[in-house]
Amino acid sequence: MGVSLQDNKKTFRAQFDNLTEIAAFILVFCHDASLDDSSCYHIEMAVDEACSNIIEHAYGGEGKGEIEICVEVNPGNVTIKLSDHGKSFNPDDIPDPDLETPLEERKNHGLGLFFIRKLMDQVFFTHGKDHSNILTLVKYRK
């Protein structure tokens, strides 16, 4: 694929088939930042979950929009911004899952945001001037 580190922004069609290409795009920057394998894995998993949520919940299915991803490698962290133009939501309205409830009694959803917050050091939701949804994920460099 050959991603230039100067090309820190890329737009992907919101389809599950693109998750592998998105992961490869993200990992170029993780390795450039000399993050350890665990941090790279956490970022990859958080971005995968976030993109899956955008496809499923914001767009309501595959191929109905795009996801723009911008990666910044800073001295103290790696920051990933995912932008979409799908349905917005308030993450504060999503309660943490009840992890004490037996698996067979749990809802089929609600763990994604919980995992994203656990995997990353900071997670922010904002809205752009163009009415986009912006999810910012930050992983500190050790």
What whole-number distance in Å separates Cα of residue 133 and Cα of residue 85? 6
pTM of the predicted protein model: 0.87
| CA dihedral (53, 57, 58, 64) positive or negative | positive
Which residues span the domain enclosing 19? 9-140
Q: How many separate domains does the chain show?
A: 1
- Asked, for residue 4, whether it belongs to a domain, the answer is no
Q: Compute the distance between CA of residue 118 and CA of residue 110 in angstroms, rounded to an integer.
A: 13
Kindly report the backbone phi and psi dihedral angles of residue 2, in degrees, each rounded to the nearest multiple of 5, phi listed first.
Answer: 65, 75
Residue 98 lies in a domain: yes
Q: Return the CATH number at 102.
A: 3.30.565.10
Separation CA 142–CA 40 (nearest Å): 12
* pLDDT value at 138 more than 50: yes
Q: For residue range 33-85, list pLDDT tens digits in order.
A: 999 999 999 999 999 999 999 999 999 999 899 999 999 999 999 999 999 99
